[in-house]
Amino acid sequence: MEIHDRVAGEVTIVQLDGNLDTNTAPDAQAHFDGLADGGHTLIVVDFGTLNYISSAGLRVLLATAKKLKGMGGQLRMFGLNDTVHEVFEISGFSTIFSVFATEAEALEGF
């Protein structure tokens, strides 16, 4: 998996490319922790090129969301493909997270 960051105003957009699973979750968690610890508390995750997410990946997102919330921040996401969207639906994470169809929608209101 590759992780790419870009900034849009006060928001950091994180693009995840590949699979977020047991093998890549530790690196993803370290990346998100580094952003939060560096003061990036408004994060939007771009799932447009994420092929698959496992329960380990969901735990990374949950831990990140909790950390950001505790810092007065927020985690949002957009661009889930059908496979990732199904995982979110089955796990109930679609009701826990702010999930949007497009980047513009995810950035609205920040």
Q: What is the CATH number of the domain that holds 52?
A: 3.30.750.24
Q: Is 70 within the bounds of a domain?
A: yes
Q: Is 46 within the bounds of a domain?
A: yes
Average pLDDT in the 12-41 region?
Answer: 98
What is the total count of domains within the chain? 1
Containing 55, the helix (H) or strand (E) segment is helix 55-70
Q: Is 12 within the bounds of a domain?
A: no
Q: 13 or 109: whose pLDDT is higher?
A: 13
Q: Is 31 within the bounds of a domain?
A: no
Q: β-pairing, 11-20 with 74-78?
A: unpaired
Containing 71, the helix (H) or strand (E) segment is none
Mean pLDDT, the chain, rounded, equals: 96
Q: Given the structure tokens 């092929």, which residue do they identify?
A: 51
Domain interval for residue 88: 41-110
Report CA Rg, the chain: 12
Confidence of residue 110 (pLDDT cuts 50, 70, 90): confident
**Predicted TM-score (pTM) of this structure:** 0.95
Q: Is pLDDT at 109 greater than 90 in this prediction?
A: no
Q: Is 63 within the bounds of a domain?
A: yes
Q: Is 77 within the bounds of a domain?
A: yes
Confidence of residue 20 (pLDDT cuts 50, 70, 90): very high
Q: Is 53 within the bounds of a domain?
A: yes
Q: Is 32 within the bounds of a domain?
A: no
